[in-house]
Chains A and B, each alone.
Chain A
Amino acid sequence: MQDISLHILDILENAISAEAKKIELSINVNEKENILSIRIKDDGKGIDEELLQEVENPFYTTKKERIKKVGLGIPLFKQHALMTDGDFSLKSEKDAGTVINVVFQYDHIDRMPMGDLESTLLNTIFSHPEVDFEIILQRQNSHETKEKFSTSAIRRILGDVPLTYPDVMDFIKENIKRSLKKIKVEEL
């Protein structure tokens, strides 16, 4: 995995596989505190205690179609965060949901770049129009920028018009682009 936005995509897709109806993603960059943090919370089916002991370790998966049971998504993300003297925590409750908190040291030489967050967000939203995405992008340096995006707010206005209607897709794309520009995602 070459950048943080690919890890985010991977974790979002885990949440979808766990049948989440609502997914919250917050990204917070605080240069003064030298932190880039990511929080992904879902209301999916959760992970039971036994499994929870193992998911942060490589090679654990419940995917059945594989002969070798290899789960790499979570351990790789953790490893990349810890390489920067960051932090990783995963909390989950069976039938309630999962929350993952990942902290990178912002200026650490081993911190991967953010990468193409726009594609991560748009691909995921358009692939799963039935899921509510709440996205918060926050950047704090000399001043604070906070951008919020919610597909449920959009859906309320749209009524029975799908999120994947072409003009709606353009609308969402423009909004996400603008928010990413405001937090100057290209610098990350």
Chain B
Amino acid sequence: MKTLEELRKIREKAQNEMKMRNSESRVKVVVGMGTSGIALGARDVMKAILDEVSNRKLTDVLVTQTGEKGLSSMEPVVDVIEKGKPKITYGNVTPENARKIVVEHIVNGKVVSDLVVATKND
């Protein structure tokens, strides 16, 4: 492993930052990672999302994946969940589309309507 000293420095920096803002996440992004999703390219979709989120330092976005997904005909599938808003499900997502979803929907707040396959109020 890389030096633990380095990790301690990161901790100090992060703790100082965390004191100044609340760390609650604003958006949750869920990528369907069941067998059919994986077979249809969900791993690279996830990779693209993580890449955008980390390059843009979007610390208020929670990115996760789940094997519990049933929309096999529209995989890869990505859910975007924001508090107080309907859950938006994107289907047949490519890595390129995934980057677009991060920029347009998550950063700029505009749903990418042509990629939406379901909208659900909770």
**Interface residue ranges, A against B (CB under 8 Å):** 1, 6, 9-10, 13-14, 16-17, 63, 65-66, 71-73, 76, 116, 119-120, 122-124, 126-128, 148-149, 153-154, 157-162, 164-171, 174-175, 178
From the candidates B10, B35, B54, B64, name the one contacting A127 in the complex (CB within 8 A): B64
Secondary structure of the A contact surface, majority rule? helix
A66→B70 contact, CB < 8 A: yes
Secondary structure of the B contact surface, majority rule? helix
Residues in A with CB closer than 8 Å to B47 are: 119, 122-123
B10→A153 contact, CB < 8 A: no
* CB closest chain-A residue, reference B64: A127
B7→A154 contact, CB < 8 A: yes
Determine whether B18 belongs to the interface, using a CB cutoff of 8 Å to chain A: yes
Q: Which 10 A-B pairs have the closest CB atoms?
A: A13-B67, A65-B70, A73-B35, A161-B14, A127-B65, A127-B64, A167-B10, A123-B46, A17-B67, A165-B14
B11→A159 contact, CB < 8 A: yes
Task: Say how far A165's CB is from chain B's closest CB, in angstroms.
Answer: 5
Residues in B with CB closer than 8 Å to A13 are: 33-34, 38, 65-67
Known: A116-B43, A161-B14. A178 touches B50 (CB 8 A): no
B11→A120 contact, CB < 8 A: no
Known: A165-B14, A171-B2, A175-B2. A123 touches B65 (CB 8 A): yes
* Cα–Cα, bound, A120→B90 (Å): 22
Residues in A with CB closer than 8 Å to B18 are: 160-161
B35→A76 contact, CB < 8 A: yes
Contact with A along B1-37 (1 / 0, CB 8 A): 1101011101101110010000100000001011110
Besides A10-B38, A16-B66, A72-B35, 6 new A-B residue pairs in contact (Cβ under 8 A), listed by A number: A14-B67, A157-B4, A157-B11, A158-B11, A160-B18, A167-B10
Determine whether B120 belongs to the interface, using a CB cutoff of 8 Å to chain A: no
* Cα–Cα, bound, A73→B28 (Å): 26
Residues in B with CB closer than 8 Å to A165 are: 10, 14, 59
Number of A-B residue pairs, CB cutoff 8 Å, is: 110
* Cα–Cα, bound, A17→B68 (Å): 7
Determine whether B63 belongs to the interface, using a CB cutoff of 8 Å to chain A: yes
Residues in B with CB closer than 8 Å to A168 are: 7, 10, 14
Determine whether B118 belongs to the interface, using a CB cutoff of 8 Å to chain A: no
26 contacts between A and B (CB under 8 A): A1-B38, A6-B38, A6-B39, A13-B38, A14-B67, A17-B67, A63-B34, A65-B70, A73-B34, A73-B67, A119-B43, A119-B46, A123-B43, A123-B50, A126-B50, A126-B63, A153-B1, A157-B8, A158-B10, A160-B15, A161-B10, A165-B10, A166-B57, A168-B10, A171-B6, A171-B10
